[in-house]
Amino acid sequence: MSREEEPRKTDAEGARETPTDSEPVESGKLARPGDLLPGILHVLPLANRPFFPAQMVPLVVDREPWQRTVEAAVKSGNSYVGLVLIRGDDPQAAGPGDFYTMGTASRIHKVVQVEDKLQLFVEGMQRFGIDSWVTRERPFAVHAQYFPETGYKDVPELKAYTVAVINTIKELLPLNPLYGEELKYFLNRFGPDDPARLADFAASLTTSDKPELQEVLEKTHIRERMEKVLVLLKKEVEVARAQMQIHKHVEESMEKRQREFLLREQMKAIQKELGIAKDDRTAEIEKFRARLKDLTLPEEAQKRIDEEMEKISVLEVGSPEYGVTRNYLDWLTQLPWGKYSKDNLDLKNARKILDRDHDGLADVKERIIEFLAVGSMKGEIAGSILLLVGPPGVGKTSIGRSIAQALGRKFYRFSLGGMRDEAEIKGHRRTYIGAMPGKFLQAIKDVGVANPVIMLDEVDKIGASYQGDPASALLEVLDPEQNREFLDHYLDVRFDLSKVLFVSTANQLDTIPAPLLDRTEIIRLSGYIASEKMAIAQHHLVPRQIEKAGLKSRQLKIEIAALREVIERYAREAGVRSLEKRLGQIARKAVVKILNGAKPPVRVGVKNLEEYLGKPLFRPEKPQAGVGVVTGLAWTPMGGATLDIEATRVHESTRGFKLTGQLGDVMKESAEIAYSYISSHCRDYGARADYFEKAFVHLHVPAGATPKDGPSAGITMATALLSLARGGKIVRPLAMTGEITLTGQVLPIGGIREKAIAARRAKITELILPEANRGDFEELPAHIRRGLKAHFANHYRDVARIVFPKNK
């Protein structure tokens, strides 16, 4: 057999080398394009996936960095270029170290420049490995080692792999039609009996990631390559099936919706033909008319609704005016015109509810019962505005809710704190986009009756701005003579609010405008004494906090002595809000102990209280005693407090008077008046007449960091100066409050209840009050007055007689 007829040596497990252009081709044989490949090959980087032999696709590269490489490949005479995958994602930044070691030698058939890109039509010819680098800068060139494919005939094992690959590709064809187009293109160029080309083609079909595809490219042994390709194809089949299932599910869902939509439209058309169904406008109008059947509308409102009904019946459904009119009619027909809930005027039931919800506050409850009794006598409660005034946490809001429960009325609460726009009260005009009624008509609509209990929280914190003054807008709402014809800007129809019971709350009266205050009945909640706080804690706060913490009552036991300690040393304010927070803190720490293994019940006593609450926040209030030191009584928004006023003589070189303690203007004036009065009447009260002639006196009101103001410390300051001048101190627990004038008159002051509670807390048993406040003191509940001895003074002579009894 001649050399030309000698068959090629094949190896099912390997490949043979192809001669390069520097090696001669056997004589007498026709050289194919793939038989002569350059030994030095210019390379282009690929970022996304490798390029396989037998592929023929357009490749787009950036013109500026790679034009020289393409030109060098074309000018070499054979138009071959090596396409090699890089490890990174940026081809422009790729260097020799970023290239994989194997790529595909490809022939460039055509180069087209499109703006700043080059479009190359390339055909993959053969695998090659990078033997070494000729140039390590662009244009890159390498010494190539080729791995040509041989003929694989009559190899049963490869035939089995070929059949497996073809069958797997057949599984892919129904799942994605694009696979069919690519398969046709492959079969036009190659046959199914070429396992090498088939394996490369199958790998190029998959959407595997680039390391897996590069691994296929680097497999020079055909069997290993076929095994790897089969794995990737199986994965691709699973992914394609999942995508097909998702697509099918989405299509079914869309078809179902479209079918339902078509059926509904057909049903509407049929119903319309039969006169069963109505269009949107007719349905809306009938809905509005149905709402009006059970309502008793005034003539003005009925006329307005009829006009709007006529308007909406001729408007186009899609027009903006239709939407505005529809919303307006929706509001008009949802208001409870003439609908009232029946009042429960049983006083025993009301007292039972008040006692159930609140401990203490006996005077406040009595005042509310009196209010309800008057309503019971009249047969209705209308035109009333209550104002509950007191420190935070004394139960103002909960009392309002209890009043609603006692009357059997609906309850609605909203806060006025920080409100700056009068439209919140009286509504927006309908000319504005998004206009709506004010808070009051919103409340009436929500509760569904025209006589609810509406609570206006924080009425003392209303603001004012360029958008109006909400406090002034409230005047119409809270005036019994005006609110029967309340006019909301949005509704533009008068609505009767006279049956509404308004309950407002405030911490202080100073910031409430006088005209608004004049329209309310004031009920003061001054705060709780220790015994009342104890009852509230036992009956309400402790059970509530145990429940909030997820505990059972048997799992946490707080001793009475520990509760008393919490009240006196950790939560001394007038209300019980801080007390509830402290009890919640104890409950949370008890939960932690139980979860850490402690055996319930967890017991909290005085000895271990600091483990739960830390160091006490308050020290026991012990009045100071000494020459020039007198205890006064003060009112604060948090309740009453004792105030030790100190006076001392600094030197005698010159006369002077100094004030410290961050005092307000009114309090400074009281101090000046007290100094002037005592200086001019020293002899009358047993002191040297010339004591203040050369004395520089300093008067201080602790604590210096707390601002203080008000006239009620006048007699206390005067007594401190007199004690300094006499050189005598007050030895018994005595406190006083009252305003003094230059003639020594003692004028009345406010906050008697809070000051009496503060005195009891400090264990002071003797008080000096202005004679004009005798009635206020005698009106205090017996449990507050118990143990207190009150002296009443018209003139400072009465004060001096009580403080220094030997000087009559």
Q: Would you state the structure tokens that stand for residue 102, as one six-digit string? A: 């194997």
Handedness of CA 655, 659, 665, 669 (dihedral sign): negative
CB 731 within 8 Å of CB 627: no
Q: Could you say which DSSP state residue 708 is in?
A: B
Choose between 706 and 492: higher pLDDT: 492
Cα of 234 vs its chain's centroid, Å = 50
pLDDT tens for each residue of 343-361: 888 888 888 888 888 877 7
Which of 375, 390, 298, 285 lies closest to 330 in space, CA to CA?
285
Instruction: Give residue 275's pLDDT.
Output: 62
Instruction: Give residue 92's pLDDT.
Output: 84
CB 168 within 8 Å of CB 230: yes
User: For the residues 25-41, what does the mean pLDDT come to?
Assistant: 60
Q: Would you state the structure tokens that stand for residue 707, as one six-digit string? A: 């601002």
Residue listed under structure tokens 């949802």: 334
Q: Could you say which DSSP state residue 30 is in?
A: P
Residues whose CB is less than 8 angstroms from the CB of residue 611 and which lie 6 or more positions away in sequence, other chains included: 589
Instruction: Give residue 266's pLDDT.
Output: 80
User: Can you give the pTM of this predicted structure?
Assistant: 0.58
User: For the residues 193-197, what does the mean pLDDT come to?
Assistant: 78
638, burial (CB in 10 Å: exposed 0-12, middle 13-18, buried 19+): middle
Instruction: Give residue 592's pLDDT.
Output: 92
* C-alpha radius of gyration, the chain, whole number: 48
Side chain identity at residue 560, one-letter code: I
pLDDT tens for each residue of 154-167: 667 777 777 787 78
Handedness of CA 576, 582, 584, 586 (dihedral sign): negative
Residue from 712, 723, 806, 808 carrying the catalytic annotation? 712
Choose between 792 and 21: higher pLDDT: 792
The DSSP bridge partners found for residue 64 are: none
Least confident span in 101-105, 107-111, 360-364, 505-509: 360-364
Residue from 755, 763, 789, 808 carrying the catalytic annotation? 755
Instruction: Give residue 29's pLDDT.
Output: 44
465 included as an active-site residue = no
Share of the chain above pLDDT 70, in %: 89
> Would strands 385-389 and 521-524 be described as parallel, antiparallel, or unpaired?
parallel
DSSP per-residue letters across 336-382: -TT--PPP---HHHHHHHHHHH-SS-HHHHHHHHHHHHHHHHHT---
> Would strands 739-740 and 746-747 be described as parallel, antiparallel, or unpaired?
antiparallel
> Would strands 501-506 and 746-747 be described as parallel, antiparallel, or unpaired?
unpaired
CB 116 within 8 Å of CB 125: no
User: For the residues 644-657, what does the mean pLDDT come to?
Assistant: 86
User: For the residues 362-385, what does the mean pLDDT come to?
Assistant: 78
Q: Is 415 helix (H, G, I), strand (E, B) or coil?
A: strand
Q: Please compute, for residue 699, the number of CA atoms within 13 A of its CA located in the half-sphere on the CB side.
A: 26
pLDDT tens for each residue of 776-790: 888 887 878 888 889
Residue 191 has pLDDT above 70, yes or no: no
> Would strands 411-415 and 453-457 be described as parallel, antiparallel, or unpaired?
parallel
Mean pLDDT computed over every residue of the chain: 82
Tell me how far apart the 2 most distant CA atoms of the chain are, in Å.
Answer: 156
DSSP per-residue letters across 564-602: HHHHHHT--SSSSHHHHHHHHHHHHHHHHHHHTTPPSPE
Q: Can you state the percent helix, strand and coil of the chain, rounding each to 5?
A: 45, 20, 35
755 included as an active-site residue = yes
Q: Report CA-CA distances (Å) from 218 to 43, 124, 147, 237, 630.
A: 17, 15, 10, 23, 100
Residues whose CB is less than 8 angstroms from the CB of residue 13 and which lie 6 or more positions away in sequence, other chains included: 221, 222, 223
* Relative orientation angle of helices 222-274 and 156-172, to the nearest 10 degrees: 20
User: For the residues 596-611, what does the mean pLDDT come to?
Assistant: 88
Which of 506, 426, 429, 519 lies closest to 478 in space, CA to CA?
519
Instruction: Give residue 11's pLDDT.
Output: 37
Q: Which of 33-37, 102-106, 704-708 has the highest mean pLDDT?
A: 102-106
Instruction: Give residue 706's pLDDT.
Output: 67
Q: Say how far apart CA 683 and CA 680 lie, in whole Å.
A: 8
Instruction: Give residue 189's pLDDT.
Output: 65
pLDDT tens for each residue of 689-732: 788 888 889 989 887 656 777 788 888 999 998 888 888 778 77
Question: What band does 4 get if pLDDT is binned at 50, 70 and 90?
Answer: very low
Q: Say how far apart CA 389 and CA 303 lie, in whole Å.
A: 43
CB 40 within 8 Å of CB 33: no
Which of 476, 465, 477 lies closest to 440 in space, CA to CA?
477
Q: Say how far apart CA 541 and CA 582 lie, in whole Å.
A: 10
Q: Report CA-CA distances (Å) from 354 to 201, 454, 537.
A: 88, 18, 17
Q: Would you state the structure tokens that stand for residue 169, as one six-digit string? A: 């590709």
Q: Residues in the chain, how many? A: 808
Cα dihedral 681, 686, 690, 693, rounded to 10, equals: -60
CB 653 within 8 Å of CB 696: yes
Instruction: Give residue 9's pLDDT.
Output: 36
pLDDT tens for each residue of 402-429: 888 888 889 999 888 877 777 888 888 8
Instruction: Give residue 770's pLDDT.
Output: 93
